[in-house]
Amino acid sequence: MRLTPVQVGNIQIENNVFLAPLAGYTNYPFRRICKRYGAGLCYTEMVSGKGLKYGSENTEELLYTDGQEGICAAQIFGSDPDILRAACEHEKMQPFPIVDINMGCPVPKIYKNGEGSALLEDPRLAENIVRECVKSGKIITVKFRIGITDKTLITTEFAKRMEGAGASLITVHGRTKEKIYAGEVNFQEIAAAKRAVKIPVIANGGVFSNEDAEKLMAETGADGVMVARAALFDPQIFCDLTGKARTSRLKMFEDQLKWTEQVCDERFTVVFMRKMAAFYVKGTRGAAAFKERLFRAQTTEEILSIAREIWKE
């Protein structure tokens, strides 16, 4: 796809291929891997504004970074403007010049709590959240869906409101809350958002190849694309989108495991890297048997041994 820089507030992002915030996955080591393979901007996992304001240890752990990954955006969620501003101003947010407000999460417990995609039904509150968070001095961006259902599409109005409230960039997931992650991406709604605002618009949904990205850009006129689930199966999809050379899958896995060990305890590293290996092995001959062995592994040494067997150099 055609690569261009993206201006987000006063920061220029080197290219227009972004890694989406993925709950449970986009921790520091995974972001660093994706950045290596070409992602222009990576997002943290979704972080609770309340959890951050009130000192939740687990919440703060989601914001770990050591500065080696370059510019990174933190994503927060909530529904109280004052709490979200306080979250933006929290000391743990200092390494993140860009803060994204989640207004698209379709998970029932988030939605029922008035957060995530529920904010699509209360655009005035969504505006107030952005206005308040802008006061923190952070560059504020917003990720949202095109509506709750196909009968309640709000993309154009919502995009204008976010820009008017001070957002420096919006990411539009071209599906409704009702469709979760399934179904066709609505190119027309993303295109409508792009026509409605002057700030950059990133298109999200259905990118699993360079061809998908090119089609999404062509159909929507967006300024860039955001890659989500495809990166879980193959972080080197960013090579395909940016023209970087791929490396061996084993090298990728070894480095991710090493970086995870450096910042996380043994138990987390084992559980997390078993999950990642299960994603990466998809399509490999004997994948089912390898997965069974992986999920019995109890140490990083066992996982690494199995990985070396899977991806023989």
Q: Is domain 249-310 given the CATH code 1.10.10 in the classification?
A: no
Short-list 200, 167, 186, 279, CA closest to 17: 200
The β-bridge partners of 144 are: 103, 172
* Overall average pLDDT of the 223-246 stretch: 97
Read off the pTM. 0.95
In this structure, what token pair is assigned to residue 244? 């970087």
Q: Is the pLDDT of residue 301 over 70?
A: yes
* Overall average pLDDT of the 194-223 stretch: 97
pLDDT digits 0-9 by tens, 17-72 = 999 999 999 999 999 999 999 999 999 999 999 999 888 878 888 999 987 889 99
DSSP codes, 147-172: BSSTTSB-HHHHHHHHHHHT-SEEEE
pLDDT digits 0-9 by tens, 66-111 = 878 899 999 999 999 999 999 999 999 999 999 999 999 999 999 9
Q: What is the percent of the chain where pLDDT is above 70?
A: 100
Rounded distance, CA 162 to CA 129, Å?
A: 10
Going through 49-138 in order, the beta strands assigned E by DSSP cover: 72-77, 98-103
Phi and psi (nearest 5°) for 115?
Answer: -115, 175
* Overall average pLDDT of the 202-210 stretch: 97
Query: 218 CB contacts (<8 Å, ≥6 apart)?
Result: none
In this structure, what token pair is assigned to residue 92? 């743990």
C-alpha pair distances (Å), 190 with each of 2, 242, 263: 18, 22, 38
Query: 296 CB contacts (<8 Å, ≥6 apart)?
Result: none
Write down the domain spans for the chain.
Answer: 6-242, 249-310
pLDDT digits 0-9 by tens, 246-280 = 999 999 999 999 999 999 999 999 999 999 999 99
Set 88, 105, 133, 264: catalytic member: 105
Q: What pLDDT score was predicted for residue 313?
A: 55
Contact 98, 139 (CB under 8 A): yes
Phi and psi (nearest 5°) for 72?
Answer: -140, 150
Its CATH class, for the domain covering 6-242, is alpha beta
| 105 noted as active-site residue | yes
* Virtual torsion, Cα 19, 122, 49, 38, nearest 10 deg: 10
Q: What pLDDT score was predicted for residue 287?
A: 85
